[in-house]
A and B are shown apart, each in its own frame.
Chain A
Amino acid sequence: MSSRAFRKRVTAAIADRRVAAAVHHATWHKVGARAAGMRMLRNPERLRELAGQIKQHTLERLPEYLEQFTANVRRNGGQVHFAKDAAEARQLICELARSRGLKLAVKVKSMTTEEVGLNSALEAAGVRVFETDLGEFIVQLDRDRPSHIVTPIIHKDRRQIATAMARELGCQYTEDPAALTMIARKYLRDVFRRCDLGISGVNFGVAETGTICICTNEGNGRMSTTRPRVQVALMGIEKVIPRLSDLAVFLKLLARSSTGQPMGSYTSLISGPRRATDADGPSEFHLVLLDNGRSEILAGPFAEVLRCLRCGACLNACPVYRNIGGHAYHSVYPGPIGSLVTPLLDRRGDHHDLPRASSLCGACRVACPVNIDLPELLVRMRAAGRASQGRLKKLGFFGWLCAMRSERAYRAAQRILQAMLSDDGSGWTTGGVGPLASWTAGRDLLRPAPRSFRQLWQEELREQS
């Protein structure tokens, strides 16, 4: 049974025709694009397997790889900080800004900064923050929240975007995507000219070289990591990979899984601050490594989720996400991976609906570039949360088990089921109470056949053998 709050959010989301249409359109499109992109690979299944193995291997030796990685970041002239939770990460970065007098931050799209709530903390500390990814820029302008980890405005249509831009930037109203992009570009150019702090996430941290890899499509990543005087990269500890050559595996999969592109438009490899011979780059490079519950996840039965690249493929593939959109999850991370990660990261929150609100269709597992068995983990999480199941549900399964343990009880249950369902002679039930009401709210229910297979076997079929 769903909690009332979750049900309310879901019902509202499904009823919002405009959002539903936008999300359906975008996710179907991306599913097709991903499939086409993957088909271009010689052996996509093997590559997904390999990517999963590399990630799993790294997770199993995470302390070693982190040590190697941070040592190399330092060798490259970067400074390394550890944040055990979101509050520490916010504090660390705000303090960096304060002590250096930094006032204007540009951001590369990063779910990890969303996870720790960095923007509002920086604003409160007197730093103006600008999102420079077009989607995130619009989210920020419209005081909205991202509803997808890769396509933050997947829930918005052109009209809403145009309205927000005209209202907030005072520009002429236009729905032409190219024109809107140019307006944002011009606006952000000026911000880039004045900024002094660049903030990014990290797609991959290469242990062997101390390099961070950032994948973007708009070039804003490059601007944000070269223009400002100080660069901060916030990285979840699970983002480390062993070798530079491993990128050959991950880069083949990441953009394909996200958007279907063979590769993102910009892949930046950053190893520390500007060197004497460099034409540009920040004079300080700070890496903030974030734990925020990840160590605890790593030690438990759900460690596999830490392989995640945040590519968004499982969201696009998910028929639940397609219908309820991202906001209904009440989490920075929606979709199948969000349904797992949200309860794990926020252990005190009430997220018990998330792992249960799935048909376990497995479209996410097929799409995941690091081969995470998402449906299996959802089932495992349902089992782990068994105590939080409603009394009625527990009672129901108790009764059901009693019926299934003996054939006589099973037959009796079959007859009861038949008797319980009303019959207007059509062979269909269209209403009822309890679970029957749930079922018949949106569909009819076939009545059990007058003669079950078992009876048929007894009375007719077995004779012939």
Chain B
Amino acid sequence: MDVALFITCLTDSFFPRAGEAVVRVLRHFGCRVQFPAGQTCCGQPAYNSGFHDEARVLARRMIEIFEPYETIVSPSASCVAMVKQHFAPLLADEPAWRSRAERLAERAHEFATFLVDRLNVDIAGLLRFDEPVTFHYPCHARGIYGAEDLQRWLTRDGQVNLRLPQHVDCCCGFGGMFAVDYPEISTAMLNDKLDLLAATGARLVICNEGGCTLQMAGGARRRGLPLRFKHIAECVADSLGLMKDRP
């Protein structure tokens, strides 16, 4: 299967290892991965901030770049949600663009859901951890996958020692521009979240969203909490021994 990778800004700059893992895992399961040149941002920050003219410009641009591909996969659920849920309404006044947006929406997939639903991969059956793990459910994955999906991917055959945090879908307080526009609130929310994660006793946190990881890893470091964060693609790639470096 031919797959076009939509890497997203944060993964590109901050978490290239997660991107690499996505590529290696997709290849492992027989996909031919392409990286459409020219891709930048889906416009999510502008959209969420109410800068919709700017978001429209980038939505059109993204449609043009990814339209030639049958299947698009991305490590970030929030960026996929932007494409799937917001592009078409954003372009509602331009019927031609709108239908192009709708077609793209059908072809855009979040990495883990793609693995499970399209490639019929049993993620839980692959994962190997030598320590207890917990996870963060990214709020903006709502509508793409649920917290119970994430839990199922991580626990299905009981090989993983999963420590479920209390209030599994509690927000980490990132929220894009919100994190710098309202730092006091954002940080207070972050500390609530870190308390919940730390209380599980696990040190490895599965988090599939670059923004959330940026927020939580930064908070954990500031507070001296021994938490590490990993994308599920990295977990799969490490378990299968696909990465060149050590985990």
Contact = CB atoms under 8 A, between A and B. Distances in A.
B165 to A, nearest CB: 13
Contacts, number: 198
B102 interface: no
Q: Could you say which interface size class chain A belongs to? A: 35 or more
B192 A323 contact: yes
B14 interface: yes
Given A28-B167, A361-B171, A461 B23 contact: yes
Interface in B1-48: 7, 11-17, 19-20, 23, 27, 32-35, 37-41, 43, 45-48
A99 interface: no
Q: Counting chain A CB atoms within 10 Å of each CB, which of B46, B179, B218 scores highest?
A: B218
Given A401-B46, A404-B40, A438-B180, A443 B187 contact: yes
B13 A417 contact: yes
A444 B187 contact: no
A397 B51 contact: yes
Contacts of B7: 453-454
Contacts of A11: 184
Those 9 A-B pairs whose CB atoms lie nearest each other, nearest first? A359-B175, A382-B50, A442-B187, A361-B171, A361-B139, A443-B218, A453-B19, A383-B50, A453-B16
Nearest to A464: B27
A357 B180 CA distance: 11
Contact of A379 (B50, B54, B190): B50
A322 interface: yes
B169 interface: yes
Contact of B189 (A319, A417, A435): A319
A465 B50 contact: no
Contacts of A389: 49-50
Interface string A266-306: 00000000000000000000000000000000000000000
B178 A444 contact: no
A446 B13 CA distance: 10
A446 B57 contact: no
A7 B34 CA distance: 46
Q: Counting chain B CB atoms within 10 Å of each CB, which of A403, A446, A449, A456 scores highest?
A: A446
Contacts of A393: 49
A446 B182 contact: no
A456 B16 contact: yes
Contacts of B130: none
Contacts of B169: 363, 366
B186 interface: yes
A439 B183 contact: yes
Q: Counting chain A CB atoms within 10 Å of each CB, which of B43, B171, B185 scores highest?
A: B185
B218 to A, nearest CB: 4
23 contacts: A319-B171, A319-B192, A320-B189, A324-B188, A356-B178, A357-B181, A360-B48, A383-B50, A397-B51, A400-B45, A401-B54, A404-B58, A407-B40, A414-B12, A442-B186, A443-B218, A443-B219, A443-B222, A448-B13, A451-B16, A453-B15, A454-B35, A465-B27
Interface in A423-441: 428, 430, 435, 438-439, 441
Contacts of B188: 14, 323-324
A251 interface: no
B140 interface: yes
B181 A2 contact: yes
B142 A359 contact: no
Contacts of A330: none
B27 to A, nearest CB: 7
B200 interface: no
A465 B32 contact: yes
B219 A360 contact: no
Contacts of B12: 414, 452-454
B215 interface: yes
Given A356-B182, A401-B57, A442-B222, A453 B11 contact: yes
A1 interface: yes
